[in-house]
Structure 1
């Protein structure tokens, strides 16, 4: 009986150990033509920390191919269900076929813990090889994307940084990679950090290929377990055609948040602070709307979490807020401030307390939940009679004057700009200024009427003058339309320093329109042809590239100070040379 139990136990052990090592070799498809590159992927998965890889991958006979590139990456994480260490090693090979027909890909061998594992061989089909276009095919297809995520074990809703790199044997191919599309999936939230290209590393992947970082972005997994980040796509554009390339996929081990979360916890992960305040210091009247702002500041998943609101009360009512944000990428998440602007209407007279909802967040560094005390804003609301009684004589005169200036507007002077602001203290200067303004307006009106009567009595005489030549007229118009480009540059610099990027790009478009109108060109395309004919092909190409950069920076989700500075310097340099 004991021998049977031992036999059954050994059988179970052998079955469990059999599935601890997985080795596979796959190609991206079964049929290729002569213009395509063959991509082979070798995956070795070790389930268990006691397993040891004792040899590298022994490749099959690849004499019928030319190896044009290779790369490897190793991932390790812990399975939270079985508490076992999983090590995954992935190697990619890029091959160029030398002959057509059916070609067999042999087995890959590897030694793990004194045992040899191998893959099953398979066949691929190579169609006719176009020798004339082989070099062109190399230049077009010899481009690969690789997504690298260093920290693959994170908490739910905690960000991790992903770096996208492009590889190629031909450095010239790196500049052809455009239209980067970040992954979109229901169980992750992706926010770009920047799309600036780094310096080219000419000897990556063992010196076989050049590489360049083309994008950095944050990944926020919103569910626990194994989460796979989809591939990033991009396009390789040439004069002949446009092809699409994909990066590798990355698997994350997302840890579940600890149990015992407070009732006020609503998926906020990071470090945050809550404030409530009234943006104005005006007196509040019963049943009249007022603005109350709830501000959440900090760093983490601030753009994806649920914000704390205002607590309901019988003393007031409020409406859904208008949300505005000032958020940018930080070191451990999205960093900045989010403002919820509420319209609150007091229902009773006297002191009213406006409270925020209870709020809490999970701090990944301390690995604990943090409860934020509810913030409170105390206001005093007055009745309509109290508001009228509290006004001084000067304030009533100011209100009457303001109503007059807002409704009466003469052709001579725009009076609405003289609106008097409310003052809490008596100010004789304000009263004298208001009286002087009214007298000035009355005198100006009389003078204007007298001038109109005299003008109607004067006979109009016209003198015939030479209209001049077409060239002289065009030069005169161009002189009138000439753009004061220095003032535009100073204004753009102020907007850039104040980070008013929307107004910055609006001013750039106005500057471009003014410069084009000066040369009688209605569109950017016509202006490019004009520059090519009169300023040279180099200036025209710089103008075309600058127009593309402006559109890219304008619609980028996140504006960077370095990118805007570089764009501003390019604008100053190019338009200065055009306007000469």
Structure 2
């Protein structure tokens, strides 16, 4: 018993000698809406000299259910002149945004002072479920409204997040009236459509309202900070006219990339691979161009990232590349490859090394930078004399023959041997044969006229068939004018293999004219509007994109086999769907 009293006495003496520590945390209120900012206040008070024995900073609880918007702190210290006691106070403010609704628990804040851990008591706050109710109240005067949902509201800079656009209405017939979807536009965002295919209608979604997914798109924020995504607009067609509706705005927290990036890091975020290759079929010759392909493949911000360029060198000249994109945006991310086709002209004979710039990217899954380094391609360039010496006798003869045919005019063929020799006497047999042929032709003409007269009389005896409606007649005319696109596809494939690109684009223009003529549309824009009304928005956008790609490839200074193959695949896929 005496030992316990001694222990308690020493404990009281230690508390008095070392001072007193108070740590508390409280919110400004206990109930919030989803759009309100949650303000937390953490107060640390130390009476005595223990502030010199603070071993750790204030440790925060798990904030995975919140977005941390901002922080701030104020420190105060004073001395009581009567008791000569030091008072130290630290006030920390945190601004949070809730990621979910309902009851949310905030854990304990911790701090270690003089080998002792102090903590606050955990508490709960309540987040009201008012997002959709607010949207309904804002558009209560309308029968239909839009709602945009963001999959992940906390991403890194240049890391994508998926957005889903849904339409709500109490009348399911209103859902099909929503058209002309316009995705959000902001200088801080890059937006790419994933799908405009409409989902099946959910007849009883929120508040017993029918809903349908209209579009899925991908957002790449290119600046860090608190970014607001503008609303998506659309039009609702009715008998009274077109009404414009706009969805809700969404705020996301864009995190800065970690510090200490490599010197040659630019803006590539994802997982990528880089390769360089020589795609020319002929041997490399001095002062003659070769095609060098730099390929970046993987998943990430492929369309907005800066590609590694071929570095300049005194051993060769390099020209601006032709960029070809083979990228597909899906709900899992943007995947594919970007091809940069360079023209490189060797300046000297022998071994030359063509190198790319150093390339690195940030992997958001591993949360670290990856340095790919330089990629090099070794090319053995030959002089013109070396190329000529390495050719076989047959190759030399073929070259001389082709040069002769291209530069020298061939003589005119003698036609005297094809002349018919004149006859000195008259042949009666020829006359009789010609008269017999004329008699046979006359008899055949009489027989044909009699058969035609008999057929006309039979038609007059038959009942008159009723004439169809305008719609049926138009359908018959369309079936008559329907173009067999498969013949065009085969012909375009042959022209692509022969590398006759001029004829290739002429044939495509003929195909497009015939298909548009089948639907009585004279211009591409009218045809695109027709496709949007009868085939869907996705087909119309694909047609507009294809027309633009054709114009770009048609007037490109350098045409590659891979680009034409990719263009032909797009032509076959699109026109096969249109001609169904």
The residue that corresponds to 2:187 in the other structure is 186
The residue that corresponds to 1:205 in the other structure is 206
Match of 1:77 among 64, 67, 72: 67
The residue that corresponds to 1:168 in the other structure is 169
**Does 2:238 correspond to 1:238?**
yes
Q: CA 1:565–1:386 in 2, change beyond 3 Å: closer, same or farther?
A: closer
Q: CA 1:215–1:492 in 2, change beyond 3 Å: closer, same or farther?
A: farther
For residues 409 and 243 of structure 2, what CA distance do their matches in structure 1 show? 63
Secondary structure in structure 1 of the residue aligned to 2:266: strand
For residues 360 and 199 of structure 1, what CA distance do their matches in structure 2 show? 43
Alignment of 1:427-446 (within 5 A): 446=413
Return the offset for 1:353. 0.7
**Does 2:97 correspond to 1:86?**
yes
Structure 2: segments with no counterpart, 5+ residues: 1-21, 43-64, 73-93, 103-123, 129-138, 424-440, 457-475, 497-504, 550-565
TM value normalised by structure 2: 0.59
The residue that corresponds to 1:512 in the other structure is 515
For residues 571 and 391 of structure 1, what CA distance do their matches in structure 2 show? 51
For residues 41 and 510 of structure 2, what CA distance do their matches in structure 1 show? 61
The residue that corresponds to 1:131 in the other structure is none
Paired residues of 1:180 and 1:233 also in contact (CA < 8 A):
yes
For residues 38 and 491 of structure 2, what CA distance do their matches in structure 1 show? 57
Query: Which structure: larger Rg?
Result: 2
Paired residues of 1:546 and 1:571 also in contact (CA < 8 A):
no
The residue that corresponds to 2:325 in the other structure is 325
For residues 543 and 228 of structure 1, what CA distance do their matches in structure 2 show? 31
For residues 415 and 536 of structure 2, what CA distance do their matches in structure 1 show? 49
Q: CA 1:360–1:384 in 2, change beyond 3 Å: closer, same or farther?
A: same
For residues 323 and 200 of structure 2, what CA distance do their matches in structure 1 show? 38
The residue that corresponds to 1:355 in the other structure is 355
For residues 127 and 277 of structure 2, what CA distance do their matches in structure 1 show? 69
Q: CA 1:488–1:382 in 2, change beyond 3 Å: closer, same or farther?
A: closer
Alignment of 1:119-268 (within 5 A): 141-207=142-208, 209-268=209-268
Note the alpha carbon deviations across 1:500-539, whole angstroms, 9 max, x for none.
xx999867634425657xxxx78599x99xxxxxxxxxxx
For residues 125 and 532 of structure 2, what CA distance do their matches in structure 1 show? 62
TM value normalised by structure 1: 0.59
For residues 253 and 506 of structure 1, what CA distance do their matches in structure 2 show? 48
Return the offset for 1:320. 1.4
Return the offset for 1:322. 1.2
For residues 522 and 337 of structure 1, what CA distance do their matches in structure 2 show? 36
Note the alpha carbon deviations across 1:136-180, whole angstroms, 9 max, x for none.
x99x93111111002101011100000001111111111111111
Secondary structure in structure 2 of the residue aligned to 1:260: coil
Alignment of 1:469-548 (within 5 A): 488=486, 491=489, 509-512=512-515, 515=518, 523=522, 545-546=534-535
Return the offset for 1:226. 0.5
For residues 545 and 294 of structure 1, what CA distance do their matches in structure 2 show? 41
Paired residues of 2:27 and 2:40 also in contact (CA < 8 A):
no
**Does 2:277 correspond to 1:274?**
no
Paired residues of 2:543 and 2:574 also in contact (CA < 8 A):
no
Alignment of 1:346-425 (within 5 A): 346-406=346-406
For residues 308 and 511 of structure 1, what CA distance do their matches in structure 2 show? 43
Return the offset for 1:186. 1.1
The residue that corresponds to 1:47 in the other structure is 39
The residue that corresponds to 2:463 in the other structure is none
Q: CA 1:505–1:86 in 2, change beyond 3 Å: closer, same or farther?
A: farther
Paired residues of 1:505 and 1:554 also in contact (CA < 8 A):
no
Q: CA 1:515–1:148 in 2, change beyond 3 Å: closer, same or farther?
A: closer
For residues 504 and 167 of structure 1, what CA distance do their matches in structure 2 show? 46
Note the alpha carbon deviations across 1:381-412, whole angstroms, 9 max, x for none.
122222222222211211123334556899xx
The residue that corresponds to 1:36 in the other structure is none
Q: CA 1:252–1:372 in 2, change beyond 3 Å: closer, same or farther?
A: same
Paired residues of 2:32 and 2:127 also in contact (CA < 8 A):
no
* CA RMSD across the alignment: 5.0
Q: CA 1:551–1:404 in 2, change beyond 3 Å: closer, same or farther?
A: farther
Secondary structure in structure 1 of the residue aligned to 2:268: strand
Alignment of 1:102-117 (within 5 A): none
Return the offset for 1:341. 1.1
The residue that corresponds to 2:89 in the other structure is none
Q: CA 1:448–1:313 in 2, change beyond 3 Å: closer, same or farther?
A: same
Return the offset for 1:20. 9.0
For residues 98 and 261 of structure 2, what CA distance do their matches in structure 1 show? 32
Return the offset for 1:221. 0.6
For residues 273 and 114 of structure 1, what CA distance do their matches in structure 2 show? 47
Match of 1:553 among 517, 537, 542: 542
The residue that corresponds to 2:292 in the other structure is 292
Secondary structure in structure 2 of the residue aligned to 1:325: strand
The total of aligned residue pairs comes to 404
For residues 489 and 156 of structure 1, what CA distance do their matches in structure 2 show? 49
Return the offset for 1:337. 0.9
Paired residues of 1:271 and 1:361 also in contact (CA < 8 A):
yes
For residues 257 and 192 of structure 1, what CA distance do their matches in structure 2 show? 25
Return the offset for 1:80. 5.9
For residues 301 and 246 of structure 1, what CA distance do their matches in structure 2 show? 27
